[in-house]
């Protein structure tokens, strides 16, 4: 070993014993540029992450649009079920009109106001009009 350097066990080169190292060693210009580059890169990546997060949440196909689409799909599903029930009811009505003479007669009497010979139809108003109140005069 030389007097100026000594080699550590793991191959690192150390300072000679008794050498003084300043704790506040002055960074070089290259070190300062490296620090600023790391800071700028961190700020850029953080800003990019924020912009991307905003797009994920509020974008055209973001989470809010997904929630609206899911609600719309649920409403359409409910509407489809209601229309299927309505179709079944109408199919049953059509089947009765095609095969049941009593249903045909009922339909003719109720909707078309048909009567048999000698019958008289009396139609009542569906709602009773409110009595008109005359204004009080002086």
Per-residue pLDDT of the chain in tens (138 residues, 90 and over written 9): 444 445 455 455 555 555 555 555 687 888 889 999 999 999 999 999 999 999 888 888 888 889 999 999 999 999 999 999 999 999 999 999 999 999 988 888 888 878 888 888 787 888 866 777 777 765
Question: How far is Cα 100 from Cα 110, in angstroms, rounded to an integer?
Answer: 16
Cite the DSSP H helix spans in 1-62: 29-58
């Amino acid at each position: 070993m030389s007097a100026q350097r000594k080699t550590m066990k793991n191959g690192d080169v150390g300072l000679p014993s008794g050498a003084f190292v300043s704790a506040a060693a002055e960074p070089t210009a290259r070190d300062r540029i490296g620090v600023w580059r790391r800071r700028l890169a961190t700020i850029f990546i953080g800003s990019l992450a924020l912009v991307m997060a905003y797009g994920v949440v509020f974008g055209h196909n973001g989470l809010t649009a997904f929630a609206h689409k899911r609600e719309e799909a649920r409403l359409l599903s409910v509407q489809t079920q209601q229309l299927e029930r309505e179709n079944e009811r109408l199919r049953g009505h059509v089947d009765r009109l095609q095969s049941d003479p009593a249903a045909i007669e009922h339909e003719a009497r109720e909707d078309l106001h048909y009567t048999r010979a000698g019958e008289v139809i009396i139609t009542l108003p569906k709602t009773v009009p409110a009595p008109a109140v005359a204004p009080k005069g002086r």
